[in-house]
Structure 1
Amino acid sequence: MTHADGTRDGGEVTDVSAPRPGAHTVVVGGGLAGVTSALALADAGVRVTLLEGRPRLGGLAFSFRRGDLTVDNGQHVYLRCCTAYRWFLDRIGGAGLAPVQDRLDVPVLDLARPEGRRLGRLRRDPLPVPLHLGRSLATYPHLSLAERAGVGRAALALKGLDLADPSLDDRDFGSWLAEHGQSPRAVEALWDLVGVATLNAVAGDASLGLAAMVFKTGLLSDPGAADIGWARVPLGELHDRLARKTLDSAGVRTEVRTRVTALHRDGGGGWGVHIPGETLHADSVVLAVPQREAYDLLPDGALDAPEHLLEIGTAPILNIHVVYDRQVLAAPFLTALGTPVQWVFDRTEASGLKEGQYLALSQSTAQHEIDEPVATLRERYLPELERLLPRSRGAEVKDFFVTRERTATFAPAPGVGRLRPGARTKAPGLYLAGAWTATGWPATMESAVRSGVGAAGAALGALGRSRGLLPDFFEEAA
């Protein structure tokens, strides 16, 4: 271990203050934010070292092996409007492995009707906004005629909101919907159907600012903005293998299983980055780690109110994995009402399963279930899947397991906007990245990538390097 004065255990002294030739940036954290920041810096000619404490890259969007299966820790999707994540896929050569559907089409099954299962669809037509969703809304069977008309009026009011208005962040989305005539059924069958999956919060717990951003950008900006994309391969193929290959090609030194224990300003105006057994010198540092880890590593004075990082709440996502001995779902995915089941995805081909079908259930806002025993979840969800998917009745369950992300996202509660810091800190050469920073987006892969590019842009500006190679979506970091 190297101490802050440069003395190693055993008496060896390392000069950590002497600058090395050329600008050097250390990126701490190998999730999407860190990988993106490292690539953007390397593309601009900066020497980059990327440090990740886990044995793989990808952060909370990763894969692991379970027997013969390759399993994602949870289902992750993106939208056509997610220009930053799409840039990332292009940059690592993975766009063809995570395509976007030709046109938004979401099957919605309602199990609460007295007459039994009823299928509706949310899909778009090749018409300008807002007409692209007009026919879908007019025929959506899970709302009454009056509720459908009310949704249209609320959508127009939402479109008129100014996303730059900070007061939106202080209000909750649920009360705004109620003020605009949305019934509890309309909230459940439409607004929360979309909002829970994108915000990881029900309308009453979500910032109006973040909710308005999601709906205005995804549904009311461009006809194809909400078309859904998802990986047809394991996430590890994209976020670890292809990302690492691209980092190597860009000249980034990548070290996994390497946890940063401390940062300090060195005598040359740069930074000493402490890892077990070594201290790295850097001209700048990007902290691309979760907010609580960033809080522990930040030096005194780096933020005016570092305690705000600890006030950013977290929200869990529960993922339920079921392997059947036969096909029980014909569609690539569906969502449901009138049941605890939220979204169901077919992951058979991506997992490498040769016989039967592997389904992944993504359960957001899982605060009340995240710690329940697997046996309890099995007793609850297998009967629900039989209600939802009649073909599963009588099918043999070959495997049932659960993955839990207790801090999957930051909680998008009212007021969270003023807690999220920008990329720059008050410590020269130290920058922040992560989906939890002030990107304007909720905790999504899109937000993570945007934050990484924003931190890289801030670092390049301070280093006197051109930011001309940054992608088109780059905006000056706060």
Structure 2
Amino acid sequence: MTYDSLRSSHTSPQQDPRRQSAVVIGGGLAGITAALELADAGVRVTLLEGRPRLGGLAFSFQRGDLTVDNGQHVYLRCCTGYRWFLDRVRGAELAPLQDRLDVPVLDVGDPRGPRLGRLRRTALPVPLHLAASLATYPHLSLAERASVGRAALALKGLDPADPKLDDIDFAGWLARHGQSQRTIEALWDLVGVATLNATAPHASLGLAAKVFKTGLLSEPGAADIGWAHVPLGDLHDTLARKALDEAGVRTELRTKADSVSRTDEGRWAVEVEGERIEADAVVLAVPQREAHGLLPEGALDEPDLLLEIGVAPILNVHVIYDRKVLRQPFFAALGTPVQWVFDRTEASGLTGGGQYLAVSQSDAGDEIDAPVARLRERYLPELERLLPAARGAGVRDFFVTRERTATFAPAPGVGRLRPGPRTRAPGLCLAGAWTDTGWPATMEGAVRSGLGAAGAALSALGRPYEIPPLEAA
């Protein structure tokens, strides 16, 4: 499904006898998506972003001659919302997917010595597509591999939307279905920490079921991995801004909304420094605490529930070597503090024969505030354990990026705290990966929230709207 094939379902501005207006507050993926959908439907849109760039928490910055992503972001083939977004901003070719899922997993904690395994799929139907990979996965015993299949079948029978699952922790459910601590560490958390930003004991079964059912148990290719081969800013800022301009959206950067209120005429007023913007609808596409501060009284029955949604950090360690030390585009690690390592050499613009590795550390609460010197002392030796070629290689640069509020915490019970896109105030809608999308805090969830908010806003404006058929994308 392409963006061009969806355009015909929208009303163009020229066909609209009265240009209704909307303000979208927040220029992350959720806000960009909402703004584009509203504009495509013929609404006059103003997008406000307090930062000097778009992209939210998936952005790039300059460090000398390098273009650095604040963190490594990936998506899966099943992430049809984010794929739609890439197509909409004409950036799909810059963030390609693997032909088939293939994840090298290196265990340096094995007493027999470092061992390399792979999680990869075949073209066989689900669940046989992973059977051969699991049968030879060296990081689990024969009995543990057999237990994985039984747990996967039980997981496949769950409904992620069942509210009862939200109160159950994933680790407890896995243990009750025969999963050893080693199996959780070497398989379930290997995937879960990267997608949920939490280990199994701290993750809602409902969200975990969504991840594993959709990614591994829906279609053979659902978990094929994609990532940007250019800086994220090229996609989420440069191309997104171009798409917004072409759609007629007024985009204001370095512009923070101070308040949102109802006018005497029943419209909305957004106050920014030096300007009052009136509109027929408003989308709050900002983090939950900021949304709580902007919500007018009565917009939600229990607005303070937003403050109960926890946050989880992500730490990224960036190492520039003077030579090539990794031949794979990425790998996952066991038996070490290192979680996932990605080669960002080409995307960053690094030249001169060196290599740029980004170490992505989810659920990083224990280290998010650690000094750079301490992180250097810890991670450089670990990378040498994992990559023999790094031993003796010169380190040109070592730095870290920290996102202390990278995602909402997917803890058991979080589902009851996440509001949908509609509020009790007509025309005021919510967007953000923290809203009730059914997904964890991912780029996919952010895009889907933006589509949902645009649909809710258009409905409040009395405009027909159908969310793009993402499941068929």
2:147 counterpart residue number: 150
AA matched with 2:376: R
CA contact (8 A) 2:70 2:401 kept: yes
- What is the TM-score with the length of structure 2 in the denominator? 0.95
Distance between the aligned counterparts of 2:302 and 2:470, measured in 1?
Answer: 29
1:129 counterpart residue number: 126
Matched, 1:324 2:321: yes
Of 376, 379, 385 in structure 1, the residue corresponding to residue 377 of structure 2 is 379
AA matched with 1:398: R
Deviations 1:217-242 (A, max 9, x none): 00000000000000000000000000
2:7 counterpart residue number: none
Distance between the aligned counterparts of 1:462 and 1:428, measured in 2?
Answer: 6
Matched, 1:243 2:266: no
2:94 counterpart residue number: 97
Deviations 1:164-222 (A, max 9, x none): 31100000000000000100000000000000000000000000000001000000000
1:44 counterpart residue number: 41
AA matched with 2:436: A
2:298 counterpart residue number: 301
Q: CA deviation at 1:472?
A: 1.0
Q: CA deviation at 1:267?
A: 1.5
CA contact (8 A) 2:423 2:429 kept: yes
Moved more, 112-121 or 52-61: 112-121
SS, match of residue 243 in structure 1: helix
Distance between the aligned counterparts of 1:169 and 1:348, measured in 2?
Answer: 40
AA matched with 2:215: G
Distance between the aligned counterparts of 1:139 and 1:196, measured in 2?
Answer: 23
AA matched with 1:77: V
Of 109, 112, 115 in structure 2, the residue corresponding to residue 115 of structure 1 is 112
Q: CA deviation at 1:163?
A: 2.0
Distance between the aligned counterparts of 1:422 and 1:194, measured in 2?
Answer: 27
1:267 counterpart residue number: 264
Instruction: Provide the aligned C-alpha RMSD in A.
Output: 1.1
Distance between the aligned counterparts of 2:366 and 2:191, measured in 1?
Answer: 20
Question: Structure 2 matches for 1:26-41, cutoff 5 A?
Answer: 26-41=23-38
1:206 counterpart residue number: 203
Distance between the aligned counterparts of 2:103 and 2:20, measured in 1?
Answer: 48
Distance between the aligned counterparts of 2:124 and 2:267, measured in 1?
Answer: 54
Q: CA deviation at 1:461?
A: 1.0
Matched, 1:408 2:406: yes
CA contact (8 A) 1:173 1:206 kept: yes
CA contact (8 A) 1:322 1:401 kept: yes
SS, match of residue 127 in structure 1: coil
1:453 counterpart residue number: 451
SS, match of residue 398 in structure 2: strand
1:12 counterpart residue number: none
Runs of 4+ in 1 over 6 A off after TM superposition: none
Matched, 1:282 2:279: yes
1:388 counterpart residue number: 386
Q: CA deviation at 1:115?
A: 2.3
Deviations 1:87-134 (A, max 9, x none): 000000000000000000000000011222100000000000000000
CA contact (8 A) 1:301 1:427 kept: yes
1:336 counterpart residue number: 333
AA matched with 2:359: L
CA contact (8 A) 1:450 1:474 kept: no
Distance between the aligned counterparts of 2:158 and 2:364, measured in 1?
Answer: 30
SS, match of residue 399 in structure 2: strand
Q: CA deviation at 1:471?
A: 1.4
Matched, 1:191 2:185: no
Of 405, 421, 424 in structure 1, the residue corresponding to residue 422 of structure 2 is 424
SS, match of residue 261 in structure 1: strand
CA contact (8 A) 1:108 1:335 kept: yes
SS, match of residue 395 in structure 1: coil
Distance 1:474 1:260, change over 3 A: farther
Identical residues among aligned pairs (%) = 77
Paired residues, number: 455
2:395 counterpart residue number: 397
Distance between the aligned counterparts of 2:375 and 2:426, measured in 1?
Answer: 49
Deviations 1:44-93 (A, max 9, x none): 11110000000000000000000000000000000000000000000000
Distance between the aligned counterparts of 2:212 and 2:112, measured in 1?
Answer: 32
2:464 counterpart residue number: 466
Distance between the aligned counterparts of 1:298 and 1:165, measured in 2?
Answer: 29
Distance between the aligned counterparts of 2:471 and 2:221, measured in 1?
Answer: 21
2:255 counterpart residue number: 258
Q: CA deviation at 1:297?
A: 0.3
2:220 counterpart residue number: 223
CA contact (8 A) 2:48 2:255 kept: yes
SS, match of residue 450 in structure 1: helix
Q: CA deviation at 1:21?
A: 5.5
Distance between the aligned counterparts of 1:245 and 1:322, measured in 2?
Answer: 32
Distance between the aligned counterparts of 2:293 and 2:310, measured in 1?
Answer: 16
Distance between the aligned counterparts of 1:29 and 1:421, measured in 2?
Answer: 17
Distance between the aligned counterparts of 2:387 and 2:160, measured in 1?
Answer: 40
CA contact (8 A) 1:89 1:95 kept: yes
AA matched with 1:389: L
CA contact (8 A) 1:169 1:416 kept: yes
Deviations 1:394-430 (A, max 9, x none): 0000000000000000000000000000000001110
SS, match of residue 448 in structure 2: helix
AA matched with 1:164: A
Moved more, 109-118 or 368-377: 109-118
Matched, 1:180 2:183: no
CA contact (8 A) 2:84 2:470 kept: no
